[in-house]
């Protein structure tokens, strides 16, 4: 039995009844912004992650808006079903019950270019693992970054930037309240 297996009454993406933040039906496969909610993935840019192709990232401008971003997440971070009947994908889904708060884990893989002080084009990559650790946690009050890998040869960064010792994605009794 899957830990977060949806109940039979849950709406699925294929039903066409689940909507995105703008009220549009979520579709199977990748949408125009880079989201594939069924597969728990995003492949796009910082510009498209907020579902607005406007040259901004959540309202901010900057050189990074065209950088490539790939995200992956667990079912309890953002499920691919609607079990609570609100017409949106469930967050914190446990045994068919939505808790409303993303739990589990999420990763970000970023790749981009920038001009250094001398005007030379430089390349960087960044990877981060984020897990739900409950109220009072350092990131957004609910989450903890358990690993960051940053490679920017021009900036002098190579490899693991920060890591908290934890197994896998940190989803165990030490890191979360999930069973």
* pLDDT one-digit tens code per residue, 124-139: 999 999 999 999 999 9
Task: Tell me the mean pLDDT in the region 26-48.
Answer: 94
Q: Is residue 126 within 8 Å of 145, Cβ to Cβ? A: no
Domain boundaries, the chain: 11-163
| pLDDT score at 168 | 54
pTM for the whole structure? 0.81
Task: Output the six-digit token pair for 36.
Answer: 């594939």
Alpha carbons 71 and 86: distance in angstroms, whole number: 24
pLDDT tens track for 153-164: 999 998 887 777
DSSP state of 65: G
Band of the pLDDT at 59, cuts 50, 70, 90?
Answer: low
Our measurement of the distance from residue 167's CA atom to the centroid of its chain's CA atoms, rounded to an integer in Å, reads: 19
% of the chain residues with pLDDT over 70:
83
Give tens-digit pLDDT for 71-111: 999 999 999 999 999 999 999 988 888 889 999 999 999 99
């Amino acid at each position: 039995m899957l830990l977060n297996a949806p109940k039979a009454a849950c709406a699925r993406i294929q039903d066409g009844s689940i909507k995105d933040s703008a009220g549009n039906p979520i579709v199977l496969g990748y949408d125009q912004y880079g989201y594939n909610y069924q597969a728990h993935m995003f492949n796009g840019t910082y510009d498209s992650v907020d579902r607005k192709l406007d040259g901004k990232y959540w309202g901010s401008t900057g050189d990074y808006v065209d950088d490539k971003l790939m995200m992956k997440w667990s079912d309890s971070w953002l499920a691919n079903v609607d079990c609570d009947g609100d017409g949106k994908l469930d967050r914190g889904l446990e045994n068919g019950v939505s808790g409303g708060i993303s739990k589990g884990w999420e990763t970000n893989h970023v790749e981009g270019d920038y001009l250094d002080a001398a005007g030379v084009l430089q390349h960087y990559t960044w990877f981060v693992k984020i897990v739900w650790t409950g109220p009072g946690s350092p990131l957004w009050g609910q989450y903890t970054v358990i690993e960051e890998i940053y490679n920017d040869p021009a900036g002098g960064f190579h490899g693991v930037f920060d890591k908290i010792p934890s197994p896998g994605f940190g989803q165990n009794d030490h890191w979360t309240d999930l069973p």
